[in-house]
Chains A and B, each alone.
Chain A
């Protein structure tokens, strides 16, 4: 894997960019702006992906729980799956697709149009001005989108189960909270912050060091998407094992 060779560079660049950003007042203002713009760009894609997936999950698990005659377990299982896995996982994948590729493309364009070199020549630190705010912005966007994804995922699962497949409404509403605790919600948000930070770091680094004209910009965006998606899914697995233990922690 060629990506593994990039790990030291990503870590070194992302840390120095974030440190440079935290020292500068203007860069912090840029960070807020970036967070807002990334959230706005990702909101609709996240909703359009998590919604269908939640409904699909409800449909398939309903056929499974009806097979075993344990329809009562459906709502807690759905809620637990959405909060623990689906919302952080899919919102992170959509951040990779939308924000990750976007950041890489933006920074790549600045690089090939020599805007970054121009900043350098003027004695301004391009890491603090363009890279750092995007990394930190992605870390702020992660938990916001995750919260939205949790709401949408549970609501669309509820809608599919109750309104399309005749599950008793009261049963869903009363048992739903058995599957999740407030701690689960916080863990989910924490995961989203980590994912945002990872996506921001990788995409900013890949974009910042783009070479080779317009085709190079496309290539940087492409590499970013692939690397971040794989990174997010494996980190998700490692984080789950670390938090819930090797057996995943019982839901009920």
Chain B
């Protein structure tokens, strides 16, 4: 093959094929997950997801809320600064930043864990053993993990919103010296209940993407312990990219008209 066609194949064709095969995997996971929900496994995986991811979500959201507040106060110093940073956090933070970071934390913690667990099962031929015994590994391994992500991520989004707002309030009051009542009022004024439910809905979609990408990368692991590391790595990066793109699309669909006014 010539260099040009090789380059086209590597840079253009292979990524497209990867995306398509992930989409196919996701579709199959969706069908299997809806047909065979194992509540026991789902609950076990879900509680593990919540226990391990929520500390990460809280740390990330707190730091982001604090950072956003300081940055917003600095940016808005011309139009009164201070309390208006509450408006920015209440609006931009709750709509975009906190859900996105919650999804990133779930991808980093649980997505990576799912990929490395399934990858280790694959390279030690446990998944092949299941197939030999006539047990569908999709049903047993993939479906409950996707369910756990779909159910757990919205909860992480709620935690992330709360922690982010608390972080913003604390930094606003303690570091920037904004009046307590005024800061709280601006924060609460700009949070609409609609934005919170949208965040939960968004969390479920992002969770589905994380679950599918992570289990797919783990499921298709090849090449020993090196392969497990590579699968973990890919799962995190690819689910993060999927989450960002999906988040942008959802924002455009939900808020696009509002911006044009």
Contacts and interface: CB of A to CB of B under 8 A. Distances in A.
B244 interface: yes
B91 interface: yes
Given A105-B232, A250-B77, A49 B244 contact: yes
A225 B77 CA distance: 36
Interface string A39-71: 000000100110011011101111110101010
Given A63-B259, A217-B229, A222 B109 contact: yes
Contact of B226 (A105, A219, A246): A105
Contacts of A108: 225, 229
Nearest to A45: B237
A93 interface: yes
A225 B236 contact: yes
A194 interface: no
B113 A222 contact: yes
B126 to A, nearest CB: 11
Contacts of B105: 229
Given A45-B237, A52-B245, A97-B240, A221 B116 contact: yes
B108 A226 contact: yes
Nearest to A252: B78
B71 to A, nearest CB: 6
A101 interface: yes
B248 A248 contact: no
A251 B228 contact: no
Interface string B85-121: 0011001100110001000110111001101110110
B185 interface: no
A108 B123 CA distance: 16
A94 interface: yes
A166 B260 contact: yes
Nearest to A223: B112
Contact of B74 (A62, A229, A244): A244
Contacts of A214: 119-120, 123-124, 224-225, 228
A85 B71 contact: yes
A240 B74 CA distance: 12
B56 interface: yes
A63 B256 CA distance: 9
- Chain A, interface size category, equals 35 or more
A177 interface: no
B60 interface: yes
B74 A249 contact: yes
Given A98-B237, A217-B228, A248-B71, A52 B244 contact: yes
A77 interface: yes
Given A48-B244, A105-B226, A105-B233, A236 B259 contact: no
Interface stretch (B30-38, B61-69, B133-141): B61-69
Contact of A213 (B56, B70, B96, B225): B225
A59 B236 contact: no
B194 to A, nearest CB: 14
Nearest to B248: A52
B56 A101 contact: no
Contacts of A73: 75, 78-79
A93 B236 CA distance: 11
A221 B214 CA distance: 14
B261 interface: yes
B241 interface: yes
A104 B232 CA distance: 11
Contacts of B27: none
Contacts of B241: 45, 48-49
A218 B116 CA distance: 5
A64 B87 contact: yes
Interface of A: 45, 48-49, 52-53, 55-57, 59-64, 66, 68, 70, 73, 77, 80-81, 84-85, 89, 93-94, 96-98, 101-102, 104-106, 108-109, 112-113, 164-166, 179, 213-222, 225-226, 229-230, 233-234, 236-237, 240-241, 244, 246-252
Interface of B: 56, 59-60, 63-64, 66-67, 70-71, 73-75, 77-79, 81, 87-88, 91-92, 95-96, 100, 104-105, 107-109, 112-113, 115-117, 119-120, 123-124, 175-176, 224-226, 228-233, 236-237, 240-241, 244-245, 247-248, 251-252, 255-256, 258-261
28 contacts: A49-B240, A53-B248, A55-B248, A56-B248, A60-B95, A60-B251, A63-B91, A64-B91, A70-B79, A77-B75, A97-B240, A105-B229, A109-B224, A113-B225, A164-B252, A214-B124, A217-B226, A218-B232, A221-B116, A221-B229, A225-B236, A226-B109, A229-B60, A233-B64, A237-B66, A240-B70, A246-B70, A252-B78
